[in-house]
Amino acid sequence: MSALKDVDQLSEAEASAEHARLARELAGHDRAYYQNDAPKISDAAYDALRRKIEAIEARFPQFVDLFSPTQRVGAAPSGKFGEIRHAVPMLSLGNAFNDEDVADFVGRIRRFLGLGEDAVVAITAEPKIDGLSASLRYEKGRLVHGATRGDGQTGEDVTQNLLTLDDIPQTLPAGDWPDVVEVRGEVYMSHADFAALNQRQAEAGKDAYKNPRNAAAGSLRQIDPKMTAQRPLRFFAYAWGDVSAPLSDTQMGAVARLGEMGFPINPLMARCESVEALLAVYRDIEAQRAGLGYDIDGVVYKADRLDWQERLGFVARAPRWAIAHKFPAEQASTVLEAIDIQVGRTGALTPVARLTPVTVGGVVVTNATLHNQDEIERKDIRIGDTVVIQRAGDVIPQVVRVVDADRPDRGAPFEFPTDCPVCGSQALREHDAKTGKLDAIRRCTGGLVCGAQLKERLKHFVSRKAFDIEGLGTKQVEAFQEEGLVREPADIFTLKARNAAGAIVPPLQERDGFGETSIGNLFASIEDRRAIALARFLNALGIRHVGENTAALFARTYGSWPLFRAAAENLADETVRADMLGIDGIGNAAVEALDQYFTEAHNREVLDHLEAELTIEDAEAVANDSPVAGKTVVFTGALERMTRDEAKAKAQSLGAKVAGSVSGKTDYLVAGPGAGSKAKKAAELGVTTLTEDEWFVLIGE
């Protein structure tokens, strides 16, 4: 799969920058879509962005945090309506883009639940309706409120508007329904109604809606319910939130009950018992797509057994038991006008295709990534070629292939530079120490001598998840760096003193775009950041493989900068190294990268200078009221009530750290039958050992 392959080729630093960029871009699109009902890009393009960021997070889990778009669903309520906090969060769905992803999804379910190859895993398939989701809360058969999804936790109170839909009853028909039932589904507009609405809009001299989904969103979020009433909206029920009694023990059964309550349910929903059957339904629905009369953008698969759904639970914003299989996105062809080389924070040289602008999936594309030297050679891409580009499953459009490679006047093959275009240092492709394989990425060897690398590192240092200095953004850092005012991070903290001493000419307050007030503010926010949390500080250093999440892990584990630095500088010591590798979530790559970083004298100097300027605050323990929060747990032996994955996910969701091996830091060893050396070691170290049942008692289940 191309998107995953692209991500495979990113260094951590590039991935981190890309992740931050994608997060910003997605946040903007979320606002445009959810708050303003005015998306700027097509669904396919949006999915491509999401898929790319997910692929990055799959490879670099350290980038996942609360601000990551993958942890958010939609955007916060706009403030136009009252707010409703969802009793059960309204989550989103992960995506599958091809048959293999679907097989992986089913495989993951099997593995997670510890099911054998021959166990039947029933999965439902149904159209993914392209509208906006809504949650309708009924108590004793009466609608008490209806809300949009909002950010997944809190939605907008659009009860009155929802009541104008024929498909949504104010009271449920007589029947044996739970006292509380939240019905969830999609509000949408049919093609015919959409066309008629746009006709009326045109006659009234108003702007046309771009597509039925925007029309549905815009219509549901009218301030005056009378306006909504004039818009022909429809509803399909496909899920539920808070229920005081289970609706059924299967997805199929539960949806059928929603149908009995009087809600429209989709007639194309089917139950399958194999990946092949799911794919057959997918193709069947895809074939019917154009004739359905309403927009769909894929097929949603859900584990049929609700007890399995319960056990599978959620990862971040999406359930493990469901996935959306999206329909493919678009391609277009255009001319490759030039190839530029960009130099990243770790010196990676990345070729970028400059294209004659072309619209793909509703977005104008002018640049595309060419990944690396091998990719250009393999596809034999040359300047002047007409190329196919695509935005499927990839945020940065990709060059897929050349279409006119056989034209007579074709230019020469592209010569990839062997010197850094920024600093002129040699740019080399390293051999992997272990595998001996040639790295796909050519890197500038200039280190901080290279203006591009220094600039990128400084930008990272001041970025939002690192020092986050207000008023010191990319632009300012770039300008300071170019002028030589900031040559290393510590220089940021001496700017004020140097400026006051007259060492900066002309003084900053006399420069365009600054002035007394803004420079005063900038100095104040720099002062503000002299005290910095350990995790932020570690992330700010921009060490390869030590992104935000890894930095947070180190901070939590070592607690203080001196302790961390002592460990990182002594990784030649076997116990120190083993202790670090024993931290769950810390792998060889991070430890190697730290070792390299701290062995380099220049880096230690950079750190000494920073130490002189900063107060690096000790890490605080995370507050969480679960009995195992902050504890380190190791699972071993054959677990009987849960699979290892389930056990791990559960423990982590309760705030525990799960480690792979027993050490002095282990709080609990949960040992099933057949526990061997780990149980022995735990006994030696006096670590509390629990049976699986005792573990469930401890966590209150």
The 10 Å Cβ neighbour count of residue 26 is 20
Q: How far is the CB of 146 from ligand IVH (least distance, A)?
A: 14
**Helix orientation angle between 451-462 and 12-30, rounded to the nearest 10 degrees:** 50
Task: Name the CA radius of gyration of the chain, rounded.
Answer: 28
Residue 30 interacts with ligand IVH (CB under 6 A): yes or no: no
CB-count exposure of residue 118 (10 Å: 0-12, 13-18, 19+): exposed
Closer to ligand IVH by Cβ: residue 93 or 670: 93
Kindly write down the DSSP assignment for every residue of 420-481, as one continuous string: -TTT--BEEEEEPTTT-PEEEEEEETTGGGSHHHHHHHHHHHHSTTTT--TT--HHHHHHHH
Kindly write down the DSSP assignment for every residue of 145-171, as one continuous string: EEEE-TTSSEEEB-HHHHTT-TTS-SB
CA dist 661 and 81 (Å) reads 51
Residue 165 interacts with ligand IVH (CB under 6 A): yes or no: no
**Which residue's entry shows tokens 């080389």?**
341
Parallel, antiparallel, or unpaired: how do β-strands 94-96 and 322-326 relate? parallel
Q: How far is the CB of 147 from ligand IVH (least distance, A)?
A: 13
Taking CA atoms, 541 is separated from 114, 293, 578, 609, in Å, by: 41, 54, 23, 13
Contact 91, 155 (CB under 8 A): no
Residue 96 interacts with ligand IVH (CB under 6 A): yes or no: no
Q: How far is the CB of 251 from ligand IVH (least distance, A)?
A: 10
Q: How far is the CB of 293 from ligand IVH (least distance, A)?
A: 16
Q: How far is the CB of 119 from ligand IVH (least distance, A)?
A: 23
Q: What is the DSSP letter of 305?
A: B
Q: How far is the CB of 295 from ligand IVH (least distance, A)?
A: 10
Residue 93 interacts with ligand IVH (CB under 6 A): yes or no: yes
Residue 91 interacts with ligand IVH (CB under 6 A): yes or no: yes
Q: How far is the CB of 108 from ligand IVH (least distance, A)?
A: 16
Cite the active site residues. Answer: 128
Contact 380, 405 (CB under 8 A): yes
Among 133, 159, 214, 250, binds ligand IVH (CB under 6 A): 133
Closer to ligand IVH by Cβ: residue 393 or 672: 393
CA dist 523 and 511 (Å) reads 15
Q: CB-based contacts of 651: which residues, under 8 Å, 6+ apart?
A: 628, 633, 635, 658, 699
Residue 322 interacts with ligand IVH (CB under 6 A): yes or no: yes
Choose the stretch contacting ligand IVH; rule: CB under 6 A; options: 86-94, 110-118, 554-562, 572-580.
Answer: 86-94
Closer to ligand IVH by Cβ: residue 105 or 238: 238
Residue 212 interacts with ligand IVH (CB under 6 A): yes or no: no
Question: What phi and psi, each to the nearest 5 degrees, are found at residue 13?
Answer: -65, -45
Residue 300 interacts with ligand IVH (CB under 6 A): yes or no: yes
Cα torsion 104, 109, 113, 117: sign: negative
Closer to ligand IVH by Cβ: residue 317 or 631: 317
Among 324, 546, 610, 662, binds ligand IVH (CB under 6 A): 324
Closer to ligand IVH by Cβ: residue 133 or 390: 133
Among 76, 123, 129, 492, binds ligand IVH (CB under 6 A): 129
Hey, which residues between 224 and 263 contact ligand IVH (CB under 6 A)? 238-239
Contact 149, 187 (CB under 8 A): no
Hey, which residues between 657 and 676 contact ligand IVH (CB under 6 A)? none
Residue 583 interacts with ligand IVH (CB under 6 A): yes or no: no
CA dist 195 and 489 (Å) reads 58
Binding mask 541-580 for ligand IVH (x = CB under 6 A): ----------------------------------------
Residue 44 interacts with ligand IVH (CB under 6 A): yes or no: no
Residue 126 interacts with ligand IVH (CB under 6 A): yes or no: yes
Q: How far is the CB of 46 from ligand IVH (least distance, A)?
A: 11
Residues of the shown chain interacting with ligand IVH in the complex, contacts defined by CB under 6 A: 91-93, 126, 128-129, 133, 149, 186, 238-239, 300, 319, 322, 324
